[in-house]
Amino acid sequence: MIRSLAAVGAAALLSSFVHVPAFAAVVGVSTVSSLQAAIDTARPGQRLVLAEGVHTAERPVKITKSGITVAAASAGRTVFDKGGFELGAVRDVTIEGFVFNGTSTLSVPAEAQATRITRNTYNGNKDGASLTVSADDVQVDHNTFSNRSSEGVYLQITGPGSEIAKRTWVHHNYFYNHSFSGANGGESIRLGYSHKQSKSANAVIEHNLFEKANGDPEAISVKSSDNTIRFNTIRDSKGYIVLRHGNRTTVEGNLLFGSGIRFHGNDHKVFNNYVQNTGDRAIVFGKGSETDSGPTSTSHDRPDRVTVAFNTLVGTGAVVDSDTGTYAPKDCVLANNVIRGSSGGVVTLQSGSTVKYEGNVIWGGTGGSMPSSGYKSVDPKLVKDANGLFRLASGSPAINASVGTYSYVTRDFDLQARSGTRDVGADEYNSSAVRKPLTKADVGVSAP
């Protein structure tokens, strides 16, 4: 049928006055099957909300649309005990507020880039990692990982094949109660793998709380290069921050109680950390089974050119220690640290280590293997603040006492600016202390 031009014009004029409803920005569903149907027809920008309750899915819900948010009606009250989610080749998808109990799972494959995993709870034992991230530009924030007793990590950051996931941002998560009793394989976070150690992940792991991280001696195990581990709190845990493989990682401003920092590899910077260990080994120069790891080696790489500076380290015996290996640490730096022990040598490094010592302040022990030119034995006048952190008191000999040039140390562990001749230790003296250890109220599903 051929319509006249007049008729077409009239129809167009009429349509300009007809309201065409936009798609619903929020779609609420009550069952897993209705959620799958809503996802299959979803448009970018939509928020698909699954009702509270316990949901059992015989197979994972498949997410095949980009730019959508799939959320629980109320964080922590929508529970999967079987099934979970399977992400396809999507981008900018957010998964928010679910509880993954039983065998339910969620992982981020390499093709699901820029995914956000937020305010979810991973509870109990899983087959493999509780959460695996293989894609680039993934944000993992405000989640709770809890109550695992089996082998396997809470969070595994990996990548496709021999590649590493890039620019993962892990922040404000709560890692709690990993009680695997084996010798290895129960880390809270494993960032990479031994065979990916030379790959630059450029991940940032910050503002996370670890409590009872006892599934492995490594709470955060870094097995890749060019990462930043900062502003985390570890307490009541045997797990350390460990640079197990890889190079050029920064460890800054972490608060560790009963834990510590151990490293292998080259060109790391460890500064502004506060380590209060009731035993010893607050800082550990890892053993060297080889001088430089090959790309697939699982051996311990000797620390080369690692700088440990402006930390506050409180322990008893060997506060700064090294493991014994075939190859001793080489061309490293121990500078401008406050080291407080109670007896014996506070620094005990392997014979043959080549380390530049300067500007350290020690108290409560002897220098140990550190030459007298590398420290002053003087009371730094540490006083405990209301948050349980030892800080410099007015008149401390550590104030304005640092030596050398460490241009990247522009702030202290409070994130307050350092100026002039910097103070020794993690704390730049200031009457207004602002830093406090993280608590459960600061991280996880319900945190602001």
**pLDDT-derived band of residue 183, with 50, 70 and 90 as boundaries?**
confident
Contacts of 238 (CB under 8 A, 6+ apart): 213, 214, 217, 259
With contact defined as beta carbons under 8 Å apart, do 227 and 249 qualify?
Answer: yes
**295 pLDDT higher than 80:** no
Buried b (16+ CB within 10 A) or exposed e, 253-288: bbbbbbbbbbbbbbebbbbbbbbbbeebbbbbbbbb
Alpha carbon distance 417, 74 (integer Å): 40
Question: CATH for 98-442?
Answer: 2.160.20.10
Q: What is the pLDDT of residues 422-433, one digit of tens each?
A: 999 999 998 887
Say which amino acid occupies 153. Answer: V
Alpha carbon distance 162, 194 (integer Å): 11
* pLDDT of 443: 98
The stretch 185-195 carries a mean pLDDT of 96
Q: What is the DSSP string of 293-362?
A: --TT--SPBPPBS-EEES-EEE-SS-SEEE---SB--BSEEEES-EEE-SSSBSEE--TT--EEEESEEE
* pLDDT of 294: 76
Q: What is the pLDDT of residues 385-408, one digit of tens each?
A: 999 999 999 999 999 999 999 999
* pLDDT of 154: 98
* pLDDT of 64: 96
Indicate the domain borders of the chain: 24-97, 98-442
- What are the φ/ψ torsions at residue 241 (nearest 5 degrees)? -80, 120
**pLDDT-derived band of residue 145, with 50, 70 and 90 as boundaries?**
very high
Percent share of the chain, pLDDT over 90: 88
The stretch 73-98 carries a mean pLDDT of 97
* Two structure tokens written together for 136: 């680039």
- In the DSSP assignment, the letter for residue 178 is E
Alpha carbon distance 288, 402 (integer Å): 30
**Nearest of 242, 239, 274 to residue 256 by alpha carbon:** 274
Q: What is the pLDDT of residues 36-61, one digit of tens each?
A: 999 999 999 999 999 999 999 889 99
Average pLDDT score, the chain: 93
**7 pLDDT higher than 90:** no
With contact defined as beta carbons under 8 Å apart, do 203 and 164 qualify?
Answer: no
Element (H or E) spanning 14, and its range?
helix 5-15
3-state secondary structure of 148: strand
Say which amino acid occupies 229. Answer: I
Alpha carbon distance 181, 70 (integer Å): 36
**63 pLDDT higher than 60:** yes
The stretch 371-381 carries a mean pLDDT of 98
3-state secondary structure of 374: helix
Alpha carbon distance 145, 111 (integer Å): 24
